[in-house]
Amino acid sequence: MSKVLVVDDNEANRYLLEAILQSEGLQSAVVNNGEMALECLARDRPDLVVSDILMPGMDGFSLCKRLRSDPQFQDIPFLFYTATYTDPQDEEFALSLGADAFLLKPQEPRILLEHIQRLLRDHQAGKLARQSAATADSEKVFLKEYNQALIRKLEDKLVQLEDANRTLVQAIKARQEAEAEVRRINSALEQRIAQRTAELAMANRELEAFSYSVSHDLRAPLRNMSGYVRWLQEDRASVLSGEGRECLEQVKRSIERMNRLIDGLLSLSRNDVDALKRSPLNTTQLVETVRQEFLPDLGRRAVRWIIHPLPEVFADESCLRQVWANLIDNALKYSRTRATSEVEIGGRHRAESGEVELFIRDNGVGFDMSRAESLFEVFRRLHAESEFEGLGIGLANVRRIVERHGGKVWAQSQPDVGTTFFFTLPSAAA
Round to the nearest angstrom and report the end-to-end CA distance of the chain. Answer: 57
Query: Given pLDDT bands bounded at 50, 70 and 90, which one contains residue 275?
Result: low
Is 103 in contact with 77 (CB distance < 8 Å)?
Answer: no
- CA pair distance 113, 22, nearest whole angstrom: 11
Query: Given pLDDT bands bounded at 50, 70 and 90, which one contains residue 391?
Result: low
Percentage of residues of the chain with pLDDT beyond 90: 31
Is 268 in contact with 195 (CB distance < 8 Å)?
Answer: no
Is 22 in contact with 46 (CB distance < 8 Å)?
Answer: no
Give the number of residues written for the chain.
430
- CA pair distance 354, 373, nearest whole angstrom: 26
Query: Given pLDDT bands bounded at 50, 70 and 90, which one contains residue 156?
Result: very low
The arithmetic mean of pLDDT across residues 18-22, rounded, is 91
Over the stretch 71-121, which tens digit does the pLDDT of each residue have? 889 899 999 999 888 888 888 888 888 899 999 999 999 999 999 999 999
Does residue 125 register a pLDDT over 90? no
Residues ≥6 apart with Cβ < 8 Å to 220: none
- CA pair distance 346, 284, nearest whole angstrom: 9
Over the stretch 234-262, which tens digit does the pLDDT of each residue have? 777 677 787 877 777 777 776 766 666 56
Task: Give CA 187 to chain center in angstroms.
Answer: 17
pLDDT of residue 256: 66
The arithmetic mean of pLDDT across residues 269-284, rounded, is 74
The arithmetic mean of pLDDT across residues 168-175, rounded, is 77
The arithmetic mean of pLDDT across residues 204-233, rounded, is 64
Ranges of H-type helices in 46-108: 60-68, 88-96
Does residue 204 register a pLDDT over 70? no
Does residue 272 register a pLDDT over 60? no
pLDDT of residue 379: 53
Does residue 356 register a pLDDT over 90? yes
Over the stretch 21-76, which tens digit does the pLDDT of each residue have? 998 899 999 999 999 999 999 999 999 999 998 888 888 988 998 898 888 898 99
Cβ density class 107-121: b for 16+ within 10 Å, e for less: bebeebbebbeebbe
The arithmetic mean of pLDDT across residues 185-205, rounded, is 76
pLDDT of residue 149: 40
The arithmetic mean of pLDDT across residues 149-159, rounded, is 57
Per the model's pLDDT, the better-predicted residue between 237 and 426 turns out to be 426
Does residue 386 register a pLDDT over 60? no
Backbone phi and psi for residue 186, each to the nearest 5 degrees, phi listed first: -60, -40
pLDDT of residue 267: 59
